[in-house]
Chain A
């Protein structure tokens, strides 16, 4: 059964810092991995979808990488802003999610 771990569980950084969020999964036989953002009390917003044939996907200041063989994905956020404060979740398949990393970017 697929298990997903996200480290760290919480992260607090000053504005402008570059940061990396980590996602690991136990079953590497996946077709894609999706990163989401969740604001308090809200639904999930899709940030990036990486297909298994890709190694990276970029959207603006966000860059996600996928290493299936090691069961890892990272989400890189460049030049963080207070508006980036949210919980970030990864899902190697639609049916299984990590618990998320709660990010706080301080002005």
Chain B
């Protein structure tokens, strides 16, 4: 099946720890995105990448880091510098980074700080 796979589905982190969320796609899409969703809120963009080895900060990049070493993978690291990391994280991809292309989403990872 073609699609976007996020893992794990649930993740628990102790304060002060870094954690990495996985996002893999087999759609052969060039562009990938990370969003954060808080209860009752829309999605806010953390980082996006339009091509391998290149990525840009979104509106709320502080406390997060990403890499794009392979076309199909775009992992997100939530660092200890992120003050309020408990949220639902969504990964998306599109065939290109241009404005005309449709975005497709994974099923999300729920991160909880304990």
Could you list which residues of chain A lie within 8 angstroms of chain B, going by C-beta atoms?
Answer: 4, 30-32, 34, 36, 41-46, 49, 51, 89, 91, 93-100
Name B1-56 residues within 8 Å CB distance of A: 4, 6, 33, 35, 40-45, 48
Chain B interface bracket (under 10, 10 to 19, 20 to 34, 35 or more):
20 to 34
With A89-B42, A95-B48, A97-B42: A42-B107 Cβ-Cβ less than 8 Å: yes
Chain A binder among B69-77, B79-87, B95-103: B95-103
Residue in A32, A44, A99 whose CB lies within 8 Å of B99: A32
Asked whether any CB of chain A lies closer than 8 Å to the CB of B78, the reply is: no
Question: Is B42's CB under 8 angstroms from A99's CB?
Answer: yes
Complex-state Cα separation, A94 to B92, whole angstroms = 9
Question: Is A99's CB under 8 angstroms from B105's CB?
Answer: no
Question: Is A94's CB under 8 angstroms from B94's CB?
Answer: yes
Could you list which residues of chain B lie within 8 angstroms of chain A, going by C-beta atoms?
Answer: 4, 6, 33, 35, 40-45, 48, 58, 88, 90, 92, 94, 98-108, 110
Complex-state Cα separation, A44 to B40, whole angstroms = 15
12 A-B residue contacts at CB 8 Å? A30-B99, A31-B98, A34-B102, A44-B43, A46-B103, A91-B43, A91-B103, A94-B99, A95-B33, A97-B43, A99-B40, A99-B42
Question: Is B102's CB under 8 angstroms from A99's CB?
Answer: no
> For residue B99, which residue of chain A has the nearest CB?
A31
Closest chain A CB from B34 CB (angstroms):
11
Question: Is A99's CB under 8 angstroms from B92's CB?
Answer: no
Complex-state Cα separation, A45 to B107, whole angstroms = 9
